[in-house]
């Protein structure tokens, strides 16, 4: 949690210092500040949260903040605002836009605000002092545009590092995979935010504040499309969850087993460095790992497949893979389901995780307070041939984390669209 306190502390110092300087010196170019403040507020009001990606997205607010940080002139008239004023305007506008989210008890705001202030502060400090000294007066159009894009790219990298550090501090997941996931995100909406921020700053410098509504509309349309895509993806995941419940409804497996295995498998996958599509495949495979039992004439008692002979486990796994292929789900999910009963040296990592976590959940079912310790001991004894040692040790690390960390795992048991505490921000 040291990194979390450092980031929050740095953001608080930057906010307090900027606010004090702005109150002391007064607000320059008030019309420009008000226009960008309204733009950022609207962007924050339209912020939404992506449960699967564990991030909050406010691309319009991010683009407006970056454009104001790199704004040099308004319709040919040089601006007089400094970096402290930029940070103050962004702070006030972001807080105003966050009021409905806070009031409704929605997505967390502290991390989002801290990252926004530090990234905007970085861009403003790099640009505004040099601009006010006339360093960029002789720069031509292409060179000036390239400068803005370079600063935005560096700011985005800074934001990615902050987002990964915040996520690592709250979840204790490995920092490297989190950073790679954030960097991959920059290739999507992140690049759109950078381009829009640069174009806004350049357009306002030439034609004035009327450029803001012109460039807001495309970003709002992009944001609407992203929200629809997120909704479609959430519906697809709910469909997978409903298919997974078929074994419970049929009485083949205990209630909640598939969701417990999926939640714990994702935690183990995170601990082992899986990100993005790998985690999605792991989650879907964990949810549907028992679906092959629907093809059995005689149900397995209690749905406990881990205690069956190896040949029978493989037969059920192959039946499950055939069912998954018929549903139209990603073929990679079917492969994991089919190979979950193979010898672990031959399995992909996702299949190793599902196999170990499934066995753990079956061993701890109605096992009493000592059940988890006994289950882990049995899994360790089985690493000679049945379970991958690195997966078992990762599972032990996940289970040994403080209660807050285990709560993050259990949240996902109630439904696939439930938010996960400690989300990081993106945009």
> What is the extent of the structural domain holding 161?
2-234
Query: What does the DSSP 8-state code read for residue 307?
Result: G
> CA distances (Å), 248 to each of 124, 256, 283, 287, 302, in order?
56, 8, 17, 11, 10
Query: For the chain, what is the domain count?
Result: 2
Same domain, 38 and 174: yes
If you search the block for the tokens 């609407």, which residue do you land on?
224
Same domain, 144 and 268: no
Same domain, 172 and 25: yes
Q: From first to last of its 427 residues, what are the pLDDT tens digits of the chain?
A: 688 889 999 999 999 999 999 999 999 999 999 999 999 999 888 877 655 545 567 888 899 999 999 998 888 888 889 999 999 999 999 999 888 877 776 555 788 889 999 999 999 999 999 988 888 877 777 888 888 889 998 999 999 999 999 888 888 888 888 888 888 878 877 888 888 888 899 899 888 888 888 888 888 887 788 788 878 888 888 888 888 888 888 878 888 888 999 999 999 999 898 888 899 999 999 999 888 888 776 777 777 777 788 888 888 888 888 888 888 788 889 999 999 888 888 889 999 999 999 999 988 887 777 888 888 998 998 888 788 999 999 999 998 876 544 434 333 333 333 333 333 333 5
pTM of structure: 0.77
Same domain, 209 and 283: no
**The last residue of a domain, from among 168, 202, 234:** 234
How many Å apart are CA 18 and CA 11, to the nearest integer? 10
Residue 265 near residue 409, CB atoms below 8 Å = no
How many Å apart are CA 382 and CA 392, to the nearest integer? 9
């Amino acid at each position: 949690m040291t990194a979390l306190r450092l980031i929050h502390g740095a953001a608080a110092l930057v906010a307090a210092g900027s606010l004090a300087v702005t109150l002391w010196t007064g607000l320059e170019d008030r019309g420009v500040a008000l226009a960008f403040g309204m733009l950022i507020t609207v962007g924050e009001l339209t912020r939404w949260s992506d449960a699967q990606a564990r991030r909050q997205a406010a691309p319009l607010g991010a683009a407006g903040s970056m454009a104001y940080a790199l704004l040099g002139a308004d319709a040919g008239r040089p601006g007089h605002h400094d970096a402290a004023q930029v940070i103050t305007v962004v702070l006030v506008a972001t807080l105003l836009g966050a009021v409905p989210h806070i009031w409704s008890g929605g997505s967390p705001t502290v991390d989002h605000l801290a990252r926004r202030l530090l990234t905007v502060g970085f861009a403003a400090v790099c640009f505004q002092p040099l601009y006010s000294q006339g360093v960029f007066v002789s720069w031509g159009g292409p060179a000036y545009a390239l400068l803005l894009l370079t600063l935005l790219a560096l700011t985005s990298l800074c934001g990615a590092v902050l987002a990964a550090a915040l996520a690592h501090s709250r979840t204790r997941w490995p920092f490297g995979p989190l950073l790679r996931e954030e960097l991959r995100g920059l290739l999507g909406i992140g690049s759109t935010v950078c381009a829009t921020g640069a174009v806004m700053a350049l357009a306002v410098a030439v034609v004035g504040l009327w450029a803001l509504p012109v460039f807001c509309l495309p970003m709002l349309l992009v944001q609407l499309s992203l929200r629809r895509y997120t909704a479609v993806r959430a519906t697809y995941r709910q469909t997978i969850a409903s298919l997974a419940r078929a074994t419970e409804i049929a009485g083949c497996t205990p209630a909640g087993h598939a969701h417990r295995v999926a939640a714990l498998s994702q935690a183990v996958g995170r601990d082992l460095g899986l990100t993005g599509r790998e985690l999605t495949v792991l989650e879907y495979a964990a949810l549907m790992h028992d679906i092959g039992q629907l093809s059995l004439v005689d149900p397995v008692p209690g749905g406990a497949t881990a205690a069956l002979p190896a040949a029978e486990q493989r037969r059920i796994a192959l039946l499950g893979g055939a069912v998954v292929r018929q549903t139209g789900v990603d073929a990679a999910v079917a492969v994991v389901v089919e190979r979950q009963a193979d010898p672990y040296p031959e399995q992909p990592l996702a299949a190793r995780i599902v196999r170990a976590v499934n066995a753990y959940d079956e061993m701890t079912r109605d096992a009493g307070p000592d059940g988890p310790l006994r289950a882990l001991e049995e899994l360790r004894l089985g690493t000679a041939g049945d379970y991958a040692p690195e997966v078992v040790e990762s599972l032990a690390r996940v289970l040994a984390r403080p209660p807050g960390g285990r709560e993050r795992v259990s949240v996902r048991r109630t439904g696939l669209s439930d938010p996960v505490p400690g989300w990081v921000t993106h945009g």
